[in-house]
Structure formats: structure tokens, C-alpha cells
Amino acid sequence: MIDYQKLCLAHELVLNLKDYYFLLHFGCEVVEITLCNVDGEPDESLDDIDELIARLQELQPKPPRFKVGQEVWGLHNDGDIVSHIIKRIDPDFHDIYLTFVDDIPFRFSEKDLYISRQELIESQLRYWQALWLEGQILVSNGEGGK
């Protein structure tokens, strides 16, 4: 038997996920639960309603990291550090932000934006240091060679 309140909670959770739905297969003594994804990912068979609720909670979208009107920092295509003011957050993708430069809209992913200029610079230093430690960056001898 499935607890009605838990079923309602699972239903509320799945409504927040555009690409998921779940199926309940009632048998004589067991209920089979299948979590399905419309993007073609394999379906998940779950043992009980509690496992379904836990999985749906894991899949819930995270709240946006930035707010409308907030100044954020990122890298321009040419590598320059630039700041932007968030004008809109895409309602379908909580991690996509819209700003305008000279009335031209630009979209940014949350992973490409930083709270401060210093945070951006520190991130870039860690990135380049990791490449150097992996041997992907060769240090020039000062004569244009490697």
C-alpha cells in the first residue's frame, strides 16, 4: 500500500522537473515504481515511494546563485575581465542569466560568472596552475621557444 501523503509529495516534486515523470505498476502484492526521463536516459526502477521521493529531491533544480540587479564578473571572448548587471534569469534554466551590453542581449551560464573580480581572478589562477602542473602548458625560455 502506498501512503497517500507520500504520493502527493512525489507528485509535487515531479511537477518541478520538466523532463521527468513516474509510473506506478500495481501488482497483487507489490507496487513497482519507475522514474522515467523524456530525454532518453534509462528509466530507473525504484523499490518504494520513499526511494522515489529521495531521488526526486536529488533532481530538484537548485535556486539561482545570482539575483536580478546583481553585479557579476566574467571573461569576455577576448579574455578581458568584464562586469555585468543581471537583468533576467531564464525561467526554464535557472543557471542561465541575461545581461545587456550596448542594448545587445548576452546569455551567461552560472558556471562562467563570479561574485567578484577577485573571485574570478583566483579561479583563473587555479585553472592555469592546474594546466601547468599537468604539463599542458610549457614555459617559454624567453627566446620565443619552448
The Cα 60–Cα 71 span in angstroms is 26
Against a cut of 0.85, is the pTM above it?
no
For the chain, the domain total comes to 2
Residues with Cβ within 8 Å of residue 5, at least 6 apart in sequence: none
Closest CA to 52 of 38, 36, 33: 33
What is the chain's pLDDT, residue by residue, as a tens digit (146 residues)? 788 999 999 999 999 887 888 988 887 777 888 898 887 777 888 888 999 999 999 988 878 888 889 999 998 888 889 888 888 887 666 667 777 666 777 788 888 899 999 999 999 999 989 888 887 766 665 554 44
- Would you say residue 54 lies in a domain? yes
Structural domain of 82: 71-133
Q: Can you name the residues that pair with 75 across neighbouring β-strands?
A: 81
Q: What is the DSSP string of 12-62?
A: HHHHT-TTEEEEEEE-SS-EEEEEEETTSPPPEEESSHHHHHHHHHHHSPP
Residue 64 belongs to a domain: no
